[in-house]
Amino acid sequence: MGRTPTSPTARRLPLWVVTSGALATGAALAGALHGATAGHPAPAWGRDAGVTPGALVALTLIAGLTAALLAVLQVTAERRRPGPAVDGASGPLPAWAFGLCTATTVLGVALLLAPSQSLEAHAGLIIVAVAVAACLVLAVASVDRATRRIEADDIAAAVAAAAVDGIRRRATVPRPDGAVLPRRDPPSQTLASPRRGVVRSVDAVRLARVAAHLDCRVVIPHAVGDPVDPGDTLVEIYGSRHDLQLLALRGTIQVAARRSVADDPAAALRTLADLAIGALSPAALAPSAAVRVLDRIEEVLDALGAEPLPGAWIVGDDDGTPRVEMPTLTWPDLLALALTEIREYGESSPQVTRRLRALLEELRRTVRPEHRAALDVELAELSSSVRRGFADPVLRRFAGCPDRQGIGGAGASAARVIPSRP
């Protein structure tokens, strides 16, 4: 699935942009301070010529070292993240802290060039001191977030929230019902991938508007999340042969090193499934943690279940004319991705099987009617898994009952007493 122009992925600024903005801000502040204080003598309390330069040097060094620490923290966090999960060093706080420290460093260096007995130097010393104090507070908070142990529940909650938000945004994109894009064989033009990576996101709204302006149809052969190599076709264009359209379309598809849970529901489900599988591994043996991850999986599947999911996403322009077609996973594909491995790894855990049945029965009640057949298949597979995992008939009956808490949920049906084994 693609993203809209308001996706969080589009709002995230790279480190070089933050650095450039901070450098410009620091230089602008130094210029403004010089213009406001030029020609004014130093205040009466600033008579020691050595105090101001020495203090400015110390504060500037503190700000510069703090900025370097935060830059290393962010770069390290980006490199050690194996996938689309949430990292404690991500988010706006480290970026704001780094920007403030960088701007303060630039301001301090500029003030060191001013005469030590001027009002500019003394006023600047006060500003830099306050800014350095704020830098240290933000830096401590950023380091605390980055080094704090992140629980699987926190990651699952953040991944599910980002995925559901993205699904709801995409639900507002114009999609003509039953539309089929006319094609020619071969396409009039193609756009190739410039690098190796995965299709991270597609700005379908912008793509449809560009296609409408150029009076063409666009087919994207790769789904979001698919790996691509340099030279692989990213866009097939049918219709107009205007050469400028390649330039207009180039910025609508993002190829990156890893997938985004906000733009790719399959990546979110994959991440959540991995968390649940890890909790069920012999090294962890934490079925309760897997049950809590299933709560988040249900949130994502419930949002997806409200969508048609025909296997191809047709996006229309402002007039409703179909302009863009791209492949997507179907509802059975998404169910299999989210639940199959959890069912297999957890078939001997009553908590997991009971929570899975409650999840499937609740989804069957809330999703679109055409999605219920796939849920019936999953329920049958779950029943087979319970028969394989529990030889004792009483325990098998217990494991086959729905329970939203796994074990102990209020109103959970069937026997609650697990028989002792000889």
Residue, of 84 and 25, whose pLDDT is higher: 25
**Percentage of the residues of the chain whose pLDDT score is greater than 70:** 77
* Closest among 400, 249, 258 to 326, alpha carbons compared: 249
**For position 385, what pLDDT does the model report?**
93
Q: What is the pLDDT of residues 274-284, one digit of tens each?
A: 999 999 988 87
**For position 345, what pLDDT does the model report?**
92
The pLDDT of 211-226, averaged and rounded, is 87
Per-domain residue ranges of the chain: 8-149, 151-345, 348-422
CATH number (3.90.1170.30, 2.60.40.10, 3.20.20.140, 3.30.365.10) of 151-345 reads: 3.90.1170.30
**4 pLDDT higher than 60:** no
Q: What is the pLDDT of residues 42-54, one digit of tens each?
A: 555 444 545 567 7
DSSP state letters, 136-205:
HHHHHHHHHHHHSPPPHHHHHHHHHHHHHHHHHHHTTS---TT------SS-SEEEE-SSSEEEEEEBHH
Contact 141, 100 (CB under 8 A): no
Q: Lowest-confidence range among 22-31, 298-307, 384-393? A: 22-31
The pLDDT of 353-366, averaged and rounded, is 95
Which phi and psi (to 5°) does residue 232 adopt?
-65, 145
**370 pLDDT higher than 60:** yes
pTM: 0.70
Q: Lowest-confidence range among 69-73, 88-92, 121-125, 376-380? A: 88-92
